[in-house]
């Protein structure tokens, strides 16, 4: 399946291939697949090293010999000479801090090494890195689950993507039958999420949710829980991380979605779970949205680290965690978490666009998201249906007078006064150019 991330890999090859590339992202989002495809398509000589399987390579780099000699020993162990035209993909690199530290050597030495690395929970490893990290000698790229645009690409629906972008830019309505069809695709995406294996299975079964393998997402969730036990300092930390992760869906059901430690345990405090949240953020299993009290540039300067909302990294995982019946989603019926699914979907789409986002509060009024776009600070409200009434958004507009506001809902494209209507399926269009 085509991934937009491929363009980032191609840009690395074109512009700074001699700087080692580190791809960071959650487990099961397709890092190994896309990097392998890139290497095979773009290089005549390709070496793949999975450190989870090659303990010998880990031991070589842990030894107390010069890095140049370590590379020679690695070549001997692999029975493969690294040449000037060789691309080396080191997978599961978190298994060796010594090899991560050696990326500085690969960057600075005279020989033109071309190195890509990736790994499970690499973000967690980097947060707790014991050796000297090669700052400035490694390019880090974040990768995310497939967004809705890639979901349409996987379904060979490029013409619809082009039409969505045109309607978004010109604020013209989508042809009604196509609008209805795209909302059906959107609801399918809420069921499967953006995990490549999940989307691939749905397409393999001709988009029949009855034949879709629901065990795929459950298996991914179980692997995430297992990682919490494997990649933590102790059992107590693992338990706290799991509690936070499993509690997030319940917090998203609240009208006020601000994360509250007391919802985990009535006696819980920030100090009890702060490190657990940091671990989950580093692992990219969850997404954070901080509150701002001022709608001014830069938004980050006015963010409050103690007031935030948390979401799961993928809406399909949220659907699976909550065990929401698919017919509820596909038939567009009312259910408790309908709004939470829509909001989680929007958050992961904005993140995939690398578009920073925050939320705004003022007394009892709250706007779902604030974005710093080309036209200035733009407020966004997310609605799961066609009812787009929002007292909070009206209050924000009166107080802050933005150039316009966005309501994301199931309504068609359009512009009424200062309100820009964006269908949920077009969220991927919202970003700074």
Chain segment 301-319, per-residue pLDDT in tens: 999 999 999 999 999 999 9
In a domain, 189, yes or no: no
Domain C-terminal end among 89, 117, 142 = 142
Apex 215 CA angle, 193 and 427, nearest 5: 5
In a domain, 238, yes or no: yes
Based on the domain organization, do 23 and 105 belong to the same domain?
yes
CA distance 101 to 129: 10
pLDDT at 132 over 90: no
Q: Which domain holds residue 29?
A: 5-142
pLDDT at 266 over 90: no
Domain C-terminal end among 82, 111, 142 = 142
In a domain, 193, yes or no: no
In a domain, 242, yes or no: yes
pLDDT tens digits along 161-178: 999 999 999 999 999 999
Apex 16 CA angle, 13 and 17, nearest 5: 50
Q: Which residue, among 425, 379, 419, has the nearest Cα to 171 in the 3D structure?
A: 419
pLDDT tens digits along 384-400: 999 999 999 999 999 99
Based on the domain organization, do 251 and 106 belong to the same domain?
no
In a domain, 180, yes or no: no
In a domain, 375, yes or no: yes
Based on the domain organization, do 90 and 222 belong to the same domain?
no
Based on the domain organization, do 282 and 390 belong to the same domain?
yes
Based on the domain organization, do 275 and 413 belong to the same domain?
yes
In a domain, 105, yes or no: yes
pTM score above 0.85: yes
pLDDT, residue 75, reads 97
* Mean pLDDT over each residue of the chain, to the nearest integer: 95
Domain count, the chain: 2
pLDDT, residue 433, reads 82
Domain C-terminal end among 142, 161, 187 = 142
CA distance 12 to 7: 9
Based on the domain organization, do 238 and 100 belong to the same domain?
no
In a domain, 392, yes or no: yes
pLDDT at 127 over 90: no
Peptide bond just before 298 cis, omega within 30 deg:
yes
Beta-bridge partner residues of 408: 382, 422
Based on the domain organization, do 349 and 231 belong to the same domain?
yes
pLDDT, residue 380, reads 98
pLDDT, residue 179, reads 98
């Amino acid at each position: 399946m085509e991934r937009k991330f491929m363009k980032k890999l191609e840009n690395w090859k074109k512009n700074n291939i001699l700087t080692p590339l580190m791809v960071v992202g959650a487990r099961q989002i397709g890092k190994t697949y896309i990097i392998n495809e890139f290497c095979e398509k773009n290089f005549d000589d390709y070496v793949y090293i999975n450190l989870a399987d090659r303990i010998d390579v880990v031991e070589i780099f842990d030894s107390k010999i010069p890095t140049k000699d370590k590379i020679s020993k690695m070549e001997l162990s692999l029975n493969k000479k690294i040449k000037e035209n060789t691309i080396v993909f080191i997978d599961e690199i978190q298994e060796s801090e010594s090899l991560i530290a050696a990326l500085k050597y690969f960057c600075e030495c005279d020989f033109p090494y071309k190195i890509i690395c990736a790994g499970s929970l690499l973000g967690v490893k980097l947060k707790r890195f014991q050796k000297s990290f090669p700052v400035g000698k490694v390019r880090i790229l974040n990768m995310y689950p497939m967004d809705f645009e890639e979901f349409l690409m996987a379904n060979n629906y490029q013409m619809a993507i082009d039409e969505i972008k045109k309607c978004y830019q010109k604020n013209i309505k989508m042809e009604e039958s196509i609008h209805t069809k795209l909302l059906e695709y959107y609801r399918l995406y809420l069921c499967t999420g953006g995990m490549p294996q999940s989307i691939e299975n749905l397409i393999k079964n001709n988009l029949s949710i009855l034949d879709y393998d629901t065990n795929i997402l459950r298996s991914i969730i179980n692997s995430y829980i297992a990682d919490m036990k494997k990649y933590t300092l102790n059992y107590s930390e693992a338990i706290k991380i799991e509690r936070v992760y499993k509690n997030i869906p319940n917090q998203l059901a609240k009208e006020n979605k601000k994360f509250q430690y007391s919802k985990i345990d009535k006696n819980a405090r920030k100090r009890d779970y702060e490190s657990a949240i940091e671990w989950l953020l580093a692992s990219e299993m969850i997404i954070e949205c901080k509150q701002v009290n001022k709608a001014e540039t830069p938004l980050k300067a006015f963010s409050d680290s103690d007031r935030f909302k948390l979401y799961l990294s993928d809406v399909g995982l949220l659907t699976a965690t909550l065990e929401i019946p698919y017919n509820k989603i596909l038939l567009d019926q009312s259910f408790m978490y309908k709004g939470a699914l829509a909001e989680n979907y929007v958050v992961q789409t904005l993140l995939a666009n690398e578009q920073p986002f925050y939320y705004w509060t003022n007394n009892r009024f709250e706007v779902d998201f604030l974005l710093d776009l080309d036209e200035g600070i733009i407020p966004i409200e997310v609605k799961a249906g066609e009812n787009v009434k929002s007292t909070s958004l009206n209050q924000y507009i009166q107080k802050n007078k933005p150039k316009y506001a966005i309501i994301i809902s199931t309504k068609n494209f359009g512009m009424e006064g200062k309100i820009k209507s964006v269908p949920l399926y077009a969220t991927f269009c919202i970003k700074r150019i």
